[in-house]
Amino acid sequence: MGLPFEAARKVAEAAQSPGRPPVIWLHFQECTGCSESLLRSSHPTLASLILDLVSLDYQETLMAGSGEQAEKALEDSIKENRGKYILVVEGAIPTQNGGIYCKVGGKTAIESLSRAAPGAAAIVSIGTCASYGGIQAADPNPTAAVGVSNVVNQKPIINIPGCPPSPYNFLSTILYIQTFKKMPVLDQLGRPMFAYGRRIHEHCERRPHFDAGRFAEKFGDDGHRQGFCLFKIGCKGPVTFANCSVQRFNDIGAWPVSVGHPCIGCTEPDVVFRTSIFDKVQIHSVTPPDMYPAAVVEVKGKGADPLTTGVVGLVAGAALGAGAMLVKRLPKEVGDDKSE
């Protein structure tokens, strides 16, 4: 989270405090990948997250209850914890034809969100779908899917985009709110700066290969096998703001680029599902390469080009000839004229 060392104690105290913040988690148009990503976190583990850290009042994937019972839990929590709960939204919200393309418990996504949002202390959009619409909003977007911020306003919304997002970016955000009772600093796309403040490219382990001009030109070629930079096979790292190259995934230091796949820019609304995975991006923050111009360049003239020499010779010859003719035709000296 980019906090000073002393803050660790505060965070630990907040994590152990008895007042667990209630969390309501709504699923809409999604693949549950974000939940799955969270299930694989180990510090804290999911068990300690939902048993010790937060009071997870409603989460369709994890909750034991179902049907009427589950819906009642949701309704109770919304009423009881009004103004206190953190609303987590996973998945995009369809808006076409009154939003009928996603219904849970007989209610459309818009209805569920409109019911839960007003009482929330803060809304966390987990994943690219909830943040910006994600794959559902990709062209031609038949259900007119949008992100949470397009439906809800006048509520603080934190976007944790990613497909899936790093679970630690989500957990850190929750812990931050719990510890400091305020929102983390966000960028212009509503993402916490501590996690999305820099480009993938800036901390990528393959960056030295980029600087040295060593690229994988296509999947499976020699450069790809040797672990060279994936830029030319479509890596979006240079335009993607996220901490994947530092935080990585699955608690074993793996992430797409480490296993040879280019970054697809899943935290960027204008990149993922908008451009081809294999298209090269334009690099805007250009830096010097790992190469040097020579200290002294011995400049040698190109020498005379035969064609130029010929043309110049012809023109000069013609000029000489014309000059000679002109001189011949000139009237003789002035004195001679007078004598005539």
Partner 1 sequence: MISQSRRGFLKCFGLAGTALAVARAGFASEGAINDNGVGLLYDATRCVGCKACVAACKRANDLPPEKGSFDPEGLWDAPADLDGKTRNIIKLYRGSESVWSYVKVQCMHCMKPSCVSVCPVSAMQQDADGRVFYDKTRCIGCRMCMVACPFIVPRFQWEKRFPQIVKCDLCKFSEVPRKGKPACAGVCPTEAVQYGRRRQLLAEAKRRTEKNPGRYRSYVYGEHEVGGTNVLYLASAAVSFDKLGLPKLPYEAPAAFSEKIQHRIYKGFIAPLALYAALFFIAVGNREELGEKEEGR
The Cα-based distances of 108 to 105, 180, 197, 326 in angstroms read 8, 34, 35, 98
Span near partner 1 by CB under 8 A; candidates 140-148, 158-166, 290-298, 328-336: 290-298
286/307 with CB nearer partner 1:
286
Residue 293 sits in the site that holds partner 1 (CB under 8 A) = yes
d(CA 297, CA 107): 73
Nearest CA to 24 out of 73, 109, 86, 83 is that of: 86
Cβ at position 227, least distance to partner 1 in Å: 18
- For position 259 contacting partner 1 by CB under 8 A, the verdict is no
Q: Which stretch binds partner 1 (CB under 8 A): 207-215, 246-254, 316-324, 325-333?
A: 207-215
- Other CB atoms within a 10 A radius of the CB of residue 248 amount to 18
Rounded to an integer, what distance in angstroms lies between the CA atom of residue 225 and that of residue 222? 5
Nearest approach in angstroms of CB 299 to partner 1 is 11
Binding partner 1 (rule: CB under 8 A), the pick from 42, 45, 287, 309 is: 287
- Whether the upstream peptide bond of residue 164 has omega within 30° of 0, thus cis, is yes
In whole angstroms, the minimum distance from the beta carbon of 145 to partner 1 comes to 34
- Residue with smaller CB distance to partner 1, 65 or 213: 213
CB of residue 209 vs partner 1: minimum separation in angstroms? 12
Write the DSSP assignment of 198-248 as a string of letters. Answer: SBGGGG-TTHHHHHTT-B--STTSHHHHTT-B-GGGT--GGG-B-SHHHH-
Going by C-beta distance under 8 Å and a sequence separation of 6 or more, which residues neighbour residue 224?
216, 217, 218, 230, 233, 260
Q: Can you say whether residue 153 is alpha, beta or left, with left for phi > 0 and alpha for psi between -120 and 50 degrees?
A: beta
Residue 198: CB minimum distance to partner 1, A: 15
| Total interface residues for partner 1 by CB under 8 A | 18
299 counts as binding partner 1 under rule CB under 8 A: no
Selected binder of partner 1 within 25, 28, 196, 210 (CB under 8 A): 210
Q: Does 286 bind partner 1 (CB under 8 A)?
A: yes
295 is a contact residue toward partner 1 (CB under 8 A): yes
| Nearest in space to 206 (alpha carbons), one of 247, 263, 154 | 263
Q: Is 297 in the site for partner 1 (CB under 8 A)?
A: yes
The yes or no reply on residue 252 touching partner 1 (CB under 8 A) is: no
- Piece of the chain touching partner 1 by CB under 8 A; list 4-12, 124-132, 156-164, 295-303: 295-303
Q: Which of residues 218-247 bind partner 1 (CB under 8 A)?
A: 231
Interface with partner 1, residue 214, by CB under 8 A: no
Q: Is 96 in the site for partner 1 (CB under 8 A)?
A: no
Burial class (CB in 10 A: 0-12, 13-18, 19+), 227: middle
Contact 73, 63 (CB under 8 A): yes
| Positions in the binding site for partner 1 (CB under 8 A) | 210-211, 213, 231, 280, 282-283, 286-289, 291-297
